[in-house]
Structure 1
């Protein structure tokens, strides 16, 4: 009888470039861990590189300069590596004993001018035009499709550009992330409808926590606004038909100029509330495909199953511990009760 050939255990690997120079071989003997955190929206991606510094070289001649760039690729030997993007060194920490240096970097493009507060009015324009104007001011390239939503007037009141843009985009059901030199826009409802790219079973999970709620899931969303043409207060309501709901209701305190604006804003708020109904945190053996924005199927979990969207992922490659992935996700489609 021929013995079965054991499938080799996959070996996690990474590649780090600093200022476009591959420094993987130089870092590896000293490396304790590489940690990459990826957000769907609202926060900048981060990269932490921890190295042991027994001889003081990282506090001396190898001390990294703030503003230098880092690039990370990670995954498994023999497979196509996942690219994490471009980062800029923002902070260096030291701790000990034993002596350790931590190089912290944030997604390139998130610079101090983006954090400058300012006031500005935008008149007779569109959401796409405002996004283009903000991107140009921040020296970013706008990517993604934005519907031609007309806006008569909106005001940026003592907000930095990113905070203002996130607020405005969110009101209309959009979100964006800054990746290197690009501001990437996407419609959240469309992203939630994408097909799952992989399946996770109960046996794949080394840890999980799921919260499935009904209380707080609204039955409808309402917008009240003053119609500038009729001079009357108008109301617009969107009912929740997707999930089990409570008797709660969303009453939006947002500006609307037309029924269409009111509908879009009410639907966006309702979609966000539905996505918050079932939330998941889990840990698995490292999986480079689990990055923010992708959808996956969760099987073998009974009523907890379904299609989930990753909203935050963390990838850790550690000396002596291997590679693990932690994610936060929201359910975008219920599954059939199974197993």
Structure 2
């Protein structure tokens, strides 16, 4: 078999920079997160020609589009490519040598920085969660990819919050998640992705030494008691789900009983994510992304289906991936009490 090889092709500010940059590439890492934060990259370069401290000096906001390319990875002659997305230079630093070294850090952010920085006070009325997302994405100059049920919202206020902070909390309140990928806002249901078939089955033989597994009950719940009084409607919504002795309480605002049920179940299941976690490093498995599931077998009580929260791709002396995962637990999807009454 021909030797495996992994390299990075790089577009910098719209120009193909592979031939000029990659010979100076010391290491490259790409962090792919399922939700809650931006994907990121780190590029380490040697500046032997002193071009980066001179005419190629970086500027914050420069764009990078890396593509991981492999040859002979799973078979002779096999050529594959994995596009990491679009990133903006967020931070960079130099260190002395010789040679001088440059570290470039990039985040998957919209070109319009107001998405994360500008505090807004707005009111959205008679809109869906998707429509609010489209408005926010439009202000950032990017597209929205929405993969979830239609959720109607009678009225919601964005008060002295950035669009990023406000919309991330809003989708979480309804049991969904948000990520930024390749100039898109992506909203999806983790429950749907947890229900998909595992993309790979992994055993201990696939792991490098140093893997870890952990389980805890701290911060998790067996049930929820929710009660909120809507003064405008003069109604109180009461929702209960689950049972046992670890009960979460909530009074998050809702406009109707259906919304109250959605919010209560979302809060309960979100709190219970990550009861059991696992971290492993292995030879890169091409095509695996955060939000995929894998099946762990051969570790007895540790076996099960795991949802990938984060993947760190590392290219240097080889190409490895570190998976940070949580075991897929049964979600609570039905309520035992759901009623509205006069306040």
TM-score normalised by structure 1 residue count: 0.88
Q: How far apart, in 2, do the equivalents of 1:299 and 1:111 lie? A: 45
Q: Which runs of 5+ in 1 are unaligned?
A: 1-6, 241-245, 335-339
Q: In the alignment, which residue of structure 1 is the partner of 2:171?
A: 169
The answer as to 2:116 corresponding to 1:118 is no
Query: Which whole-Å deviations, capped at 9, do the CAs of 1:222-281 have from their partners, x for residues lacking one?
Result: 2211155872433201217xxxxx721111231112221111112112222332211122
CA contact (8 A) 2:130 2:146 kept: no
Alignment equivalent of 1:234, drawn from 213, 233, 237: 237
Q: How far apart, in 1, do the equivalents of 2:223 and 2:34 lie? A: 26
Q: How far apart, in 2, do the equivalents of 1:213 and 1:53 lie? A: 46
Q: How far apart, in 2, do the equivalents of 1:220 and 1:208 lie? A: 32
Give the 3 Å change call, closer, same or farther, for CA 219–297 of structure 1 in structure 2: same
Q: How far apart, in 2, do the equivalents of 1:82 and 1:272 lie? A: 31
Secondary structure in 2 aligned to 1:292? Answer: coil
Q: In the alignment, which residue of structure 1 is the partner of 2:339?
A: none
Q: In the alignment, which residue of structure 1 is the partner of 2:250?
A: 252
The answer as to 2:133 corresponding to 1:137 is no
Q: How far apart, in 2, do the equivalents of 1:103 and 1:217 lie? A: 38
Q: How far apart, in 2, do the equivalents of 1:307 and 1:327 lie? A: 13
Query: What displacement does 1:298 show?
Result: 1.2
Query: Which whole-Å deviations, capped at 9, do the CAs of 1:151-186 have from their partners, x for residues lacking one?
Result: 222111111001100101001011122223321111
Q: In the alignment, which residue of structure 1 is the partner of 2:151?
A: 149
User: Aligned runs of 1:193-204 on 2, under 5 Å?
Assistant: 193-204=195-206
Query: What displacement does 1:187 show?
Result: 1.3
Alignment equivalent of 2:319, drawn from 319, 323, 331: 323
- Decide which moves more: 81-90 or 286-295: 286-295
Stretches of 4+ aligned residues off by more than 4 angstroms: 227-230
Secondary structure in 1 aligned to 2:50? Answer: coil
Query: What displacement does 1:310 show?
Result: 1.2
Q: In the alignment, which residue of structure 1 is the partner of 2:22?
A: 28
Query: Which whole-Å deviations, capped at 9, do the CAs of 1:90-122 have from their partners, x for residues lacking one?
Result: 222101234211122211416421121111122
CA contact (8 A) 1:226 1:257 kept: no
